[in-house]
């Protein structure tokens, strides 16, 4: 069983729409959760951390359900520039541990 599972997509979404991604993780000892964004031929960059209480950053909202070991990302009013691969990432600890990545969900925003 893969440690972090995501729907690879691609998700083809019209500009301005709302899109949601989900991910599940298998290691119940995971303590830290993130969404990273990776553009084509670029390194991953942190989009946002995910907290149990849920958190929002502009058009982006992330939720964590520890009981179900499930993480979500919601993008509202999607822009063409949101087209990228979104990586669900977990870690067992703080900064001392490496990250475990999902394979990513490909998002294509269409004009």
Partner 1 sequence: SAVISQKPSRDICQRGTSLTIQCQVDSQVTMMFWYRQQPGQSLTLIATANQGSEATYESGFVIDKFPISRPNLTFSTLTVSNMSPEDSSIYLCSVTKETQYFGPGTRLLVL
What mask, x for binding partner 1 by CB under 8 A, covers residues 39 to 78?
A: ---xxxxx--x-----------------------------
Closer to partner 1 by CB, 18 or 27: give it: 27
Under rule CB under 8 A, residue 98 binds partner 1: yes
- Residue placing its CB nearer to partner 1 in the complex, 55 or 100: 100
Distance from C-alpha of 14 to C-alpha of 105, rounded to nearest angstrom: 16
Angle of CA points 4, 24, 97, to nearest 5°: 45
Per-residue b or e along 23-56, where b marks 16 or more CB atoms closer than 10 Å to that residue's CB: bbbeeeebebbbbbbbeeeeebeebbebeeeeee
Q: CB 35 → partner 1: shortest distance, Å?
A: 12
Q: Applying CB under 8 A, which residues contact partner 1? A: 34, 42-46, 49, 87, 95-96, 98-104
């Amino acid at each position: 069983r893969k440690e972090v599972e995501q729907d690879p997509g691609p998700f083809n979404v019209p500009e301005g729409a709302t899109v949601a991604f989900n991910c599940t993780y298998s290691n119940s000892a995971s303590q830290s959760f993130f969404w990273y964004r990776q553009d084509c031929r670029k390194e991953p960059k942190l989009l946002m951390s995910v907290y149990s209480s849920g958190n929002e950053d502009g058009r982006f909202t992330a939720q964590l359900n520890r009981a179900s070991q499930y993480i979500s990302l919601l993008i509202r009013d999607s822009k063409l520039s949101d087209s990228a691969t979104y990586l669900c990432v977990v870690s067992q600890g703080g900064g001392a541990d490496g990250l475990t990545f999902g394979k990513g969900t490909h998002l294509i925003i269409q004009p």
